[in-house]
Structure 1
Amino acid sequence: MASVPVYCLCRLPYDVTRFMIECDGCQDWFHGSCVGVEEEAAAEIDLYHCPQCAVLRGPSVMKRRRAAPKGAAGDADVGRPIRTGSAQFVRELRGRTFPSADEVLLKPSGAQLMVEDLEEPP
């Protein structure tokens, strides 16, 4: 029986409902809630180091903020991530166009498939 890969400090399998962040040091994945990183704040991180890598490589590195041009009457939220499910998120999503599945999905013929393609990795 194939084992399910586990991640994070909690050593649980992947859960699509929980935000995860990849460590730029060890390339392991961590639940934001387990390492104290909120999903909204993750967009401001340039290099993320998990607790173990932070000891070896130093703390995570935040992105540099660019100063707004003088005299610009810009929105304070420009460039900030939009919370999933918010009214602004839905408006922006509805305003976008997406390619049809026929343009994105690969549709191999039966002759192109091998038994190895259908088996789970060891």
Structure 2
Amino acid sequence: MASVPVYCLCRLPYDVTRFMIECDGCQDWFHGSCVGVEEEAAAEIDLYHCPQCAVLRGPSVMKRRRAPPKPAPGDADAGRPVRTGSAQFV
């Protein structure tokens, strides 16, 4: 009889109804609920390290957020909407 592969800290087989995240260190899969990662927050993770790999490789790395563009020096209208019919708009 073939054995079913198990994953995560809980050592359970894959369950399509539960969110899972792959560790970029050991390539094992973990249930988000078992390692404290919410599905919505996972999109912001650049490199995920499971609890065991975090000891060896350091913590997970989050994606860098881009800052909004800075206005040009002396631009008095910076941050204000462009009015229709103005020289900027045309």
Same fold, TM exceeding 0.5? yes
Change (3 A) 1:73 1:88: closer
3-state SS of 1:52 partner: helix
Quickly say closer, same or farther: Cα 1:63–1:84, change in 2 above 3 A: farther
Q: Percent identity?
A: 94
Give SS of 2:40's match: helix
1:55-74 map, 5 Å: 55-70=55-70
Q: Give unmatched runs, 5+ long, in structure 1.
A: 91-122
Tell me which protein shows more strand as a share of its residues: 2
SS of the equivalent of 1:56 reads helix
Q: CA RMSD in A?
A: 11.0
Q: SS at 1:89's partner residue?
A: coil
CA contact (8 A) 1:5 1:13 kept: yes
Count of aligned pairs: 90
Matched-pair contact (CA < 8 Å) for 2:4–2:13: yes
Give the gaps of 5 or more residues in structure 2.
none
Q: Tell whether the 8 Å contact from 1:6 to 1:14 is kept in structure 2 after alignment.
A: yes
| Residues 8, 34 of structure 1: 8 Å contact kept | yes
Q: Partners in 1 of 2:9 and 2:3 — Cα distance? A: 18
- The structure with the largest alpha-carbon Rg is 2
Equivalent-residue separation in structure 2 for 1:39 and 1:10 (angstroms): 18
Between the aligned partners of 1:30 and 1:45, the Cα distance in structure 2 is 14
1:28–1:88 Cα change, 3 Å: farther
SS of the residue corresponding to residue 46 of structure 2 reads strand
CA displacement 1:59-112 (0-9 Å, x = unmatched)? 00000000122469999999999999999999xxxxxxxxxxxxxxxxxxxxxx
Deviates more, 1:64-73 or 1:34-43: 64-73
Aligned in 2, Cα 1:15/1:50: closer, same or farther, shift over 3 Å?
same
With normalisation by structure 1, the TM-score equals: 0.57
Q: Equivalent residue for 2:44? A: 44
